[in-house]
Amino acid sequence: MSKKHLAFGKKTYIMGILNVTPDSFSDGNDFFTQEKAVSHAVKMEKEGADIIDVGGESTRPGSDRVSKQDEMSRVIPVIEELVDKISIPISIDTYKSEIAMKALDVGATIVNDITALQGDKKMVNIVANYDSSICLMHMKGNPRNMQKNPIYDDVVGEIYSFLKERAEYAMFHDIKKENIIIDPGLGFGKRTGRGIEDNCEILGKLDELKRLGFPILIGPSRKTFIGNVCGKNQQLPVTDRLEGSLAAACVAVINGADIVRVHDVKETRRCIDLIDCIVR
């Protein structure tokens, strides 16, 4: 597999999460140093990851923004070192054009933008000029307020319309269709725990989003809805959501997901290899 091009349709790709942050919801501070981050990325590749997604700002519900300088100092040295230590593509998880441009300069080939090119007006031109892949994600609100009171009449229909518009915007600004990936944004402004499980509905109706004609990235790993659904009367802690994460990943692939973004690479790889053997 090329470091730049992914052959969608032949297999499901696993994107290993590398949070170089002190405050991410699941693994904050676990890989905050460059040495730990690089070592974990190498481990994830050995366990079967196809992409490493490097992020320097937590986007958990209620999180605060970090400065460009802090984010840059967290992610760029890690990407620079990883380029020579792993053979799989590197994704930069950012909505800031300066961070993305520097990451692409030093070897990243995918931009994972939770704002779908809305957070920084310069991002669309950078992605087009570098001919990089771009992941466009749906989010209601922003990380600070997205879970306060999200409301939908038709959650899948709204996501469909949003991602369609964002993809058209990207292509209008010279981003190639084959470089676009879409993400419905599980956990980002979605209702959970009060009798309405938007995330489960999205997973069950991924085939509707598939009609947009773009590869789908899905990120259920260790999310709150898994703690709510699997915990019955008491939400499961983040450390006890592996089985639910694997179930969500398998359902996603059966229903059309092309990339699954996960913390637990080894376990997910084993599940997805079996699912791929059945459905592909």
Q: What's the whole-number mean pLDDT along residues 166-182?
A: 98
Neighbours of 180 (CB within 10 A): 22
pLDDT at residue 2 in the model: 43
Looking at the predicted structure, is the pLDDT value of residue 280 above 90? no
For the segment 89-106, the average pLDDT, to the nearest whole number, is: 97
**What residues are labeled active site?**
223, 261
* Average per-residue pLDDT for the chain: 92
Confidence of residue 184 (pLDDT cuts 50, 70, 90): very high
2 or 82, greater pLDDT: 82
31 has a pLDDT exceeding 80: no
pTM of the entire structure? 0.92
93 closest CA partner among 74, 85, 84: 74
Q: Return the closest-CA partner of residue 276 out of 264, 257, 265, 236.
A: 257
205 versus 26: the higher-pLDDT residue is 205
Measured at the CA of 174, the angle between CA 10 and CA 11, to 5 degrees, comes to 10
Using pLDDT thresholds of 50, 70 and 90, give the confidence band for residue 204: very high
Give the torsion through C-alpha atoms of 187, 13, 252, 190, to 10 deg: 10
Give the model's pLDDT for residue 63.
59
Which range is least confidently modeled, 24-28, 115-119, 152-156, 198-202?
A: 24-28
Q: Is residue 33 pLDDT above 80, yes or no?
A: yes
What number is the average pLDDT over the span 184-212?
95
Q: Write down the pLDDT at residue 58.
A: 80
Q: How far apart are CA 106 and CA 246, in angstroms?
A: 33
Residues 163-190: what's their mean pLDDT?
Answer: 97
- Identify the pLDDT of residue 62: 65
Q: Count CB atoms within 10 A of the CB of residue 45.
A: 19
pLDDT tens digits along 220-265: 999 999 999 999 788 999 999 999 999 999 999 999 999 999 999 9
Rounded Cα distance between 175 and 142, Å, is: 24
Q: Is residue 197 over pLDDT 70?
A: yes
Band of pLDDT at residue 144, cut at 50, 70 and 90: low
Q: What is the mean pLDDT of residues 70-90?
A: 95
Q: What is the pLDDT of residues 35-59, one digit of tens each?
A: 999 999 999 999 999 999 999 998 7
The C-alpha atoms of residue 201 and residue 111 are separated, in whole angstroms, by 27
Instruction: Give a three-class secondary structure readout of 198-267.
Output: HHHHHHHCHHHHHCCCCCEEECCCCCHHHHHHHHCCCCCCHHHCHHHHHHHHHHHHHCCCCEEEECCHHH
Whether 4 has a pLDDT exceeding 50, the answer reads yes
In this structure, whether the domain defined by 13-279 belongs to CATH 3.20.20.20 is answered with: yes
CA neighbours closer than 13 Å in the CB half-sphere of residue 155: 24
**Percent of the chain surpassing pLDDT 70:** 91
Residue 66 pLDDT > 90: no
For 154-192, give the DSSP string: SHHHHHHHHHHHHHHHHHHTT--GGGEEEE--TTSS---
Q: Is the pLDDT of residue 143 over 80?
A: no
